[in-house]
Amino acid sequence: MDSSLRRAAELTPSRRWSLLAGAYAFCCAVLTATALSTVLDLFGEVIGLPASFVAPILAAPALLAGALVWWVLVERHGTVTYLRGAAFGLLTALVTGTVWTLRFVSVWSAEMLAAGPVRLLVGFVLGAVAVAGVVVGLPIMYVRRRSRGASDGPPTANSL
């Protein structure tokens, strides 16, 4: 029984990579939020976030979303491709952006989201983080592909 508990608590390479991908997504989201700080500081202010921690708070959903998206797209299928890396970044960014858009709607209502300048602002931010997500998904996929061990199996012809 003790060995079965130990095995259940042990981190497999897939779980480790998923957690690493979540942490990587969080770090990249903090950098992206910092780069977009002029827009996101205002956004954080209108939904009641503390001004000194806006970037890490806005990036927080990427930690969980990144780990889950990586596991679903990459580790569960065992397919380590650059297309899946780009999809990982894109989906993680869009999930994170959607979480905060829903938070905005919960504070200000959907009618406010439909207002012209707000809609433009949300569209700009989601577009910028989507592009950033695609770009940041590629380096972690490169590292994952380079670190494939014997336990992961040989690379396939479909792994480009």
Distance, C-alpha 25 to centroid of its chain = 5
Q: Residue 7 has what pLDDT? A: 64
Q: How confident is the model over 33-68, as pLDDT tens digits?
A: 999 898 889 889 988 999 889 999 999 999 999 999
**Can you tell me the distance from the alpha carbon of 136 to that of 55, in angstroms, rounded to the nearest whole number?**
17
CA atoms within 13 A of residue 50's CA, in its CB half-sphere: 4
Write down the domain spans for the chain: 25-148
Q: Residue 71 has what pLDDT? A: 96
**Can you tell me the distance from the alpha carbon of 50 to that of 55, in angstroms, rounded to the nearest whole number?**
10
pLDDT at 151 over 90: no
Decide: 44 and 57 in contact? Cβ < 8 Å: yes
Exposure pattern of 84-107 as b/e (b: 16+ CB <10 Å)?
bbbbbbbbbbbbbbebbbebbbee
